[in-house]
Chain A
Amino acid sequence: MNARLLPYVLILPVTLFLCLFFLYPFLLVSKQAFSTGAGFTLDNFREVTSYWKFPITMRNTLLLAAAVVPIQLALALLMATMVNRMQKGRDLVLYVWTIPLGISDLAAGIIWLAIFEQSGFLNSMMSGLGIVDKPVNLLTFQNPGIVFLAIMLAEIWRATAIMLVILVAGIGLIPKEYYEAAEVFGASPWKRFLRITLPLLRPSLQTALILRVILAFEIFAVVAALSGTLFPVLMGETYAYQFDLLNSGAAAAMALIILAISIAFTLIILRVLRVPKGATI
């Protein structure tokens, strides 16, 4: 086998797979979004954006991403640094922390529902401790704040691990010599984190943030389990268009809108966290 050709041959199967099962359906969906039966049209987009709930779903989705991702980033950084310092039991802690990664998002939503619902664990605990006389209803339309908080908690619990895994790998790649040099010059641990870890972690941060932000815009099952219809998000509306209204064109348009937002944020993250030219780790 020609050594120059080998890499291409090796990636050929996965390329074919992606073309067949991702690119081709994606093209079909785009076609569906821009047509209502006859020719090119923007009717589907007009329909979904003029629906009264659209601004609300858009706001909810962005708000949730804005509230959840920074907390997850901070937590993941903290946890990754801690794991990295550990001498003993590092693997065990890492395994435990990444358990939520193996749980489907619907299951995660249901777990948190079992905690927050009227006859749930939180209520039993509070009434057991005498904080409340009888179980209170937390997840209702009267308490949008608590609903939001519950969704936030579930998301943070469920999806911080994916950032953690990427960041742990990234931190492991940073050469120890930098830290030793910094210590010689008397840099405090905080300063070492700010001046060495963060800058050298850029590529990992980039990957972690892009993955996480895209997933945040696709949030669906956790919200559906915890809030029912109280907290409409973009993905939930897409599902409703496809399966409740049987309107594939509008669902395809919603999907493309979510894709557009994801691409926009990916580009922003790529730009903000770019590794300067000539810089290497």
Chain B
Amino acid sequence: MTLYSRILGAASGVAIACTAFAAQAEVLFWSTQAKPVEEAQAMREQVLAGAGEVDYQPNDGGPWLTRLQAELQAGSGTIGVLGALHGDFSAMNPDDLVDLDDLGVMSASGTFNDLAKLGTDSMQYIPWMQASYIMAASKEALQYLPEGADVDALTYDQLIQWAANAHEAAGEPKFGFPAGPKGLKHRFFQGYLYPSFTDGVVRTFASDAAVTAWEKMRELWAHTNPASTNFSFMQEQLLSGDAWIVFDHTSRLAQAFNERPDDFVAFPAPAGPTGRGFMPVLAGVAIPRTAPDMDAASALVAYMLKPETQVATLRATNFFPVVEVELPGDLPPSVKAAGDAVAKMSASADANPGLLPAGLGDKGGDFNRIFVDSFERIVLAGQDIRAVLDDQKGRLAAIMEETGAPCWAPDAPSDGACPVE
């Protein structure tokens, strides 16, 4: 062997070792959040810039879960850190996630920390960021507010009247509702309509108050843009003018406020006979048991909970911090608008905060389907409300019994599975 070839061999050996090392040092952050390209880019360039070598890969729920399950089944994997919604984690087997109590980080909210235990004794994920659902409207719609109505303290009747006035003025229905395939309509029923009218979700599913709630939903629907069954991100319809008054997730309204901050207002969800029901959205970070480098993954999870990372995350994704932070003054318009609306909603005298469904395990999708099906049958197909609720009630009871999930707020606590009364 000549000297030249020896040098060449040594050099290539070093090169291979270097790439192997680099590949190992990079933590794969496998997320269902911050999927839009701009958000993903902001996550990589701003949020994760100080976190060392991180490969941030957001994905749709399906592919996200498929790869994760493949790695768990194989017993070895490349995913270092998972980022997902509470619902995604609660559908998993807690044994597949590493206990995170020893990390020494957690959110400022005891409720969130309890949710993150997924029914076990230790933290299965760490709360990462939060959001909520609010209402938003074009400023040109404000002139049609019914007499005496305060946009920051609407009731469902006033909202319906407002939507009716706007309908009449515009000549076409101008309320917008995210009832499309990817829309979050089920959360409106679970966290807003039901708590506001029945002071419950599961127990009161088929109560007389629930019948009233669905009647109101029908009244509202009469003034709702019928194309709503294809709407999933209401910021698009706000911007295009297809809808003037809308309900949606704060981050699904952000673009409207950021593009034309002076044209739109954000305000709290309406109140019903049993208060102003509303619900948080909670995302978390977790480590799968197959993570290749536990130390690097733990360091990344801890990094995500730092106050400055949380503020950067807020800018990037419009999801709010879960730890105590001092919010800077130069936040994007969407963050200010949504933050104000959420603050007014929680501080209102008649606030009736609900929790995310908990303890449903992998039946979370079936639970949502109960509400979506009820909507499709009652509102779209015009079937009898009482008959539909009595029919769906059986399915709901079966899910609750199978999972044994206890009641969550605003339902009164239960021993064992939450009963459908």
CA distance A119 to B227 in the complex (A): 11
| A189 contacts partner chain B, Cβ-Cβ < 8 Å | no
Chain B residues with CB under 8 A of A161: none
Question: CB-CB contacts of B216-237 with A at 8 A, as 1s and 0s?
Answer: 0000000001110110000000
22 CB contacts below 8 A, A to B, read A52-B373, A53-B373, A117-B230, A119-B240, A134-B171, A134-B172, A137-B225, A137-B226, A137-B227, A139-B230, A140-B226, A141-B226, A141-B380, A228-B230, A229-B181, A229-B229, A243-B62, A243-B65, A244-B365, A244-B369, A245-B366, A247-B362
A140 to B, closest residue via Cβ:
B226
CA distance A230 to B171 in the complex (A): 24
| A75 contacts partner chain B, Cβ-Cβ < 8 Å | no
In chain B, positions 346-384 with a C-beta closer than 8 Å to chain A are: 362, 365-366, 368-369, 373, 376-377, 380
CA distance A228 to B227 in the complex (A): 10
Question: CB-CB contacts of A209-244 with B at 8 A, as 1s and 0s?
Answer: 000000000000000100111100000000000111
B171 to A, closest residue via Cβ:
A134
CA distance A244 to B368 in the complex (A): 9
Given A142-B226, A229-B229, A230-B229: A246 and B369 interface contact (C-beta under 8 Å): no
Which of B62, B225, B242, B376 makes the CB contact (< 8 A) with A119? B242
Chain B residues with CB under 8 A of A242: 62
CA distance A137 to B228 in the complex (A): 10
| B9 contacts partner chain A, Cβ-Cβ < 8 Å | no
B369 to A, closest residue via Cβ:
A245
Additional A-B contact list (19), CB under 8 Å, known A53-B373, A245-B366: A52-B373, A52-B377, A118-B242, A119-B242, A139-B227, A139-B230, A140-B229, A141-B226, A141-B229, A228-B181, A228-B229, A228-B230, A229-B181, A229-B229, A243-B61, A244-B369, A246-B91, A247-B362, A247-B365
| B52 contacts partner chain A, Cβ-Cβ < 8 Å | no
B interface, over-half SS: helix
Chain A residues with CB under 8 A of B61: 243
| B273 contacts partner chain A, Cβ-Cβ < 8 Å | no
CB distance A246 to B380 under 8 Å?
Answer: no
CB distance A246 to B365 under 8 Å?
Answer: yes
Question: CB-CB contacts of A139-181 with B at 8 A, as 1s and 0s?
Answer: 1111000000000000000000000000000000000000000
Report the minimum CB–CB distance from A113 to chain B (whole Å).
Answer: 8
In chain A, positions 109-131 with a C-beta closer than 8 Å to chain B are: 117-119
CB distance B365 to A118 under 8 Å?
Answer: no
B residues contacting the other copy or chain, number (CB 8 A): 26
Chain A residues with CB under 8 A of B377: 52
In chain B, positions 61-99 with a C-beta closer than 8 Å to chain A are: 61-62, 65, 91
Report the minimum CB–CB distance from A260 to chain B (whole Å).
Answer: 25
| B36 contacts partner chain A, Cβ-Cβ < 8 Å | no
A241 to B, closest residue via Cβ:
B365
| B413 contacts partner chain A, Cβ-Cβ < 8 Å | no
Interface residues of A (CB under 8 A from B): 52-53, 117-119, 134, 137, 139-142, 224, 227-230, 242-247
In chain B, positions 384-421 with a C-beta closer than 8 Å to chain A are: 391
CA distance A4 to B362 in the complex (A): 55
| B261 contacts partner chain A, Cβ-Cβ < 8 Å | no
Given A137-B225, A137-B227, A141-B380: A246 and B181 interface contact (C-beta under 8 Å): no
Chain A residues with CB under 8 A of B172: 134, 137
Given A52-B373, A118-B242, A229-B181: A245 and B226 interface contact (C-beta under 8 Å): no
Report the minimum CB–CB distance from A180 to chain B (whole Å).
Answer: 56
CA distance A20 to B380 in the complex (A): 45
| B50 contacts partner chain A, Cβ-Cβ < 8 Å | no
CA distance A243 to B180 in the complex (A): 16
CB distance B362 to A246 under 8 Å?
Answer: yes
Report the minimum CB–CB distance from B178 to chain A (whole Å).
Answer: 11
CA distance A244 to B364 in the complex (A): 9
Chain B residues with CB under 8 A of A52: 373, 377, 391
- With a 10 A CB-CB cut-off, give which of A52, A53, A242 has the most chain B CB atoms: A52
Report the minimum CB–CB distance from B390 to chain A (whole Å).
Answer: 13
CA distance A141 to B179 in the complex (A): 11
Question: CB-CB contacts of B239-274 with A at 8 A, as 1s and 0s?
Answer: 010100000000000000000000000000000000
CB distance A228 to B180 under 8 Å?
Answer: yes
Chain A residues with CB under 8 A of B181: 224, 228-229
Chain A residues with CB under 8 A of B227: 117-118, 137, 139-140
B61 to A, closest residue via Cβ:
A243
Report the minimum CB–CB distance from B395 to chain A (whole Å).
Answer: 9
B237 to A, closest residue via Cβ:
A118
Chain B residues with CB under 8 A of A224: 181
Question: CB-CB contacts of B293-328 with A at 8 A, as 1s and 0s?
Answer: 000000000000000000000000000000000000
Chain B residues with CB under 8 A of A137: 172, 225-227
CA distance A243 to B91 in the complex (A): 12
CA distance A53 to B391 in the complex (A): 13
CA distance A224 to B230 in the complex (A): 9
Closest 7 CB pairs of A and B: A140-B226, A245-B365, A243-B62, A228-B230, A244-B365, A246-B362, A137-B227
A230 to B, closest residue via Cβ:
B229
